[in-house]
Amino acid sequence: MASVVLDRLRSEALTLSESERAELAHALVTSLDGVPDSDAQDAWDQEIARRIGEVEAGTAKLIDRAEFRRRMRSRLGT
């Protein structure tokens, strides 16, 4: 029974526009996440502020786009 419902939903979802499918996909993936950490947003805000401060103070070690791509490709093995 569940596979019939899944097949019908999949078929209907594929008729949606690209933006609608993206919105649906986001909602489905988000629904798989566990309970959000209540302190996470504050921790990210502090980390972002710290990093911005380092950039503005000139103490951050920055890399250009080409180096970033090289490192990411190396990590991904491509």
Phi, psi torsion values for 37, nearest 5 degrees: -75, 120
Identify the band that residue 1 occupies on the pLDDT scale cut at 50, 70 and 90: low
What gap in Å lies between CA 4 and CA 9, rounded to an integer? 9
What gap in Å lies between CA 2 and CA 4, rounded to an integer? 5
Structure confidence at residue 37 (pLDDT): 86
Answer yes or no: is 26 within a domain: no
Task: Read off the pTM.
Answer: 0.48
Answer yes or no: is 46 within a domain: no
Two tokens, residue 59: 């103490």
Answer yes or no: is 13 within a domain: no
Q: How many structural domains does the chain have?
A: 1
Answer yes or no: is 33 within a domain: no
Tell me which residue of 70, 54, 73 sits closest to 62, measured CA to CA.
Answer: 54
pLDDT in tens, 28-64: 999 998 888 889 999 999 999 999 999 999 999 999 9
> Do residues 27 and 33 touch, judged by C-beta distance below 8 A?
no
Domain extent, residue 62, equals 53-78
Answer yes or no: is 27 within a domain: no
Give Rg (Cα) of the chain.
Answer: 21
